[in-house]
Amino acid sequence: MTLTAREQRIQWFNHDRFGMFIHWGLYAIPARGEWVRSFERIPVEDYEKYFNSFNPVNYDPKAWAKAAKAAGMKYAVMTTKHHDGFCLFDSALTDYKATNTPAGRDLIREYADAFRAEGLKVGFYYSIIDWHHPDYPAYGDRQHPMRDNAEFKDRPQDFNRYLDYMHGQVKELLTNYGTIDVLWFDFSYEDMTGEKWKATELVKMIRELQPNVLIDNRLGGNIKAREPEIYAGDFASPEQLLPPHGIVNEDGKPLPWEACITLNHHWGYHAHDRDYKTPKQVVRGLVECVSKNGNMLLNVGPNAKGEIPQLSLDVLGEVGAWMRANGDSIYGCGAAALSKPEWGRYTQKGNKLYAHILDRGIGPIALQGLNGRVKEARLLADGAEVNIQTPWNAVDYPDYLFVNIPTAQLPDDFNTVIELTLEDAE
């Protein structure tokens, strides 16, 4: 079967499954998350002090890349500009950029070079919303920091000037930094969607510059349509949510998707938010994504000195240990042709079926529909043989394969994976 261009460029994404999201900008200094200007209605002049003092002396993207790789992540997406409009890259179209802060250099170039050098794919997050540009709607907007400031009511504005700026910056990002693997636009709302962004023109330019870059679905359009708009995107982007089922289009065909998830409750650095997900939750969440044909983009919010918080690194480290032993059940895997079992989840790659056992229960673990279909069963983590003989007292259940775990507790409390080699390669 020949693949369409769209199906071809998404191959690596569907294989790699796990990426790192990085939210970093001036908001790391107030340390109350990336929405601080909007939530607290901070005028641009009051935010200027962060621009004047942004000096991340410990910024070491090579260390970030190593942490991502050790966690089992295969790609990354970093903010080049968030809603506050501050550019971490050296754009010729604005002075509001890292080059003009004490940092004094293009922080995105260093990120792209470092992650590529570690063998990771490189993505750019770019906010199509901009609370700094004078031609972006302020008064009456849904979330602009000056949305209810009457002084902004009659400010002359030319939205086309903003669109030229935004398109121009996307062009810079796709021209000056080598091959970019993901363009992650954020986000459309109300009537600020689709052609309001001149999305067709934008995506045509993008495809000319980098035909294989993946684009998320936040320029608008309907990615689920039978014939989606050119700007509808390559993958769906559920935020802070694992969809209850795999995402499909109008015809029921699986769509590529990526759940973006924070480790605590914020994307940008927040000094007091220590309410973290556990490594076990993250592992199980990732497995849930893959069992539904999806990816997980897991966020870190480096601080004002340029460091990924230790609490985040701790979680990534433990996730990485699990991934090193069990990555075969993630990479290249997708949904199995079996419904979700009582004790956990399945992922599958060809004739390898992975049983992710989350609930030990009591006695042997029953796998419906698999009796007589399994050639071999091994513990994925160490390759040890797993006994699958039907116990003497289970002969009344001919449809089930029984996996006999010899211990009262599972060997891996996060998620014990049994690799089953199927006789009939699906």
Element of type H or E holding 297: strand 294-300
Closest to ligand H79 by CB, 23 vs 349, is 23
Q: Is 258 in a helix, a strand, or coil? A: strand
If the CB atoms of residues 144 and 345 are measured against ligand H79, the closer one turns out to be 144
* Distance linking the first and last C-alpha atoms of the chain: 17
Residue 87 near residue 30 (C-beta atoms within 8 A):
no
Residue 200 burial by Cβ neighbours in a 10 Å radius (0-12, 13-18, 19+) = middle
Q: How far is the CB of 258 from ligand H79 (least distance, A)?
A: 11
Is 265 a binder of ligand H79 (CB under 6 A)? Answer: no
Please report which residue ranges of 358-421 form alpha helices under DSSP H.
none
Which residues are CB-contacts of 181 (< 8 A; sequence separation ≥ 6)? Answer: 12, 75, 121, 122, 123, 212, 213, 214
Candidates 10, 21, 13; CA nearest to 239 is 21
Q: Which is nearer to ligand H79, 143 or 175 (CB)?
A: 143
Position 260 contacts ligand H79 (CB under 6 A)? yes
Q: Does 142 bind ligand H79 (CB under 6 A)?
A: yes
Q: Does 216 bind ligand H79 (CB under 6 A)?
A: no
Partners of residue 189 on adjacent β-strands: 192
Question: Which has the closest alpha carbon to 231: 244, 216, 253, 213?
Answer: 216
Rule CB under 6 A: is residue 282 a binding residue for ligand H79?
no
- Of the candidates 185, 267, 322, 414, which one interacts with ligand H79 according to CB under 6 A? 267
Instruction: Respond yes or no on whether the N-terminal peptide bond of residue 187 is cis (omega within 30° of 0).
Output: yes
For residue 153, give the amino acid letter. K
Smallest gap from Cβ 187 to ligand H79, in A, equals: 6
Minimum distance between the CB of residue 21 and ligand H79, rounded to whole angstroms?
7
Q: Applying CB under 6 A, does 143 fall inside the site for ligand H79?
A: yes
Q: Is 186 in the site for ligand H79 (CB under 6 A)?
A: yes
Kindly state the smallest distance separating residue 34's Cβ from ligand H79, in Å. 5
Residue nearest to ligand H79 (CB): 267
Binding-site residue total for ligand H79 (CB under 6 A)? Answer: 10
Contact positions with ligand H79 (CB under 6 A) in 155-174: none
CB of 308 to ligand H79, least distance (A): 17
Euclidean distance between CA atoms 295 and 15, whole angstroms? 9
Please, which of residues 20-39 interact with ligand H79 by CB under 6 A? 23, 34-35
To ligand H79, the closest distance from the beta carbon of 35 in angstroms equals 6
Nearer to ligand H79, 34 or 106 (CB): 34
Q: Sign (positive/negative) of CA torsion 66, 110, 132, 163?
A: negative
Q: How far is the CB of 306 from ligand H79 (least distance, A)?
A: 19
Q: Which residues bind ligand H79 (CB under 6 A)?
A: 23, 34-35, 142-143, 186-187, 239, 260, 267
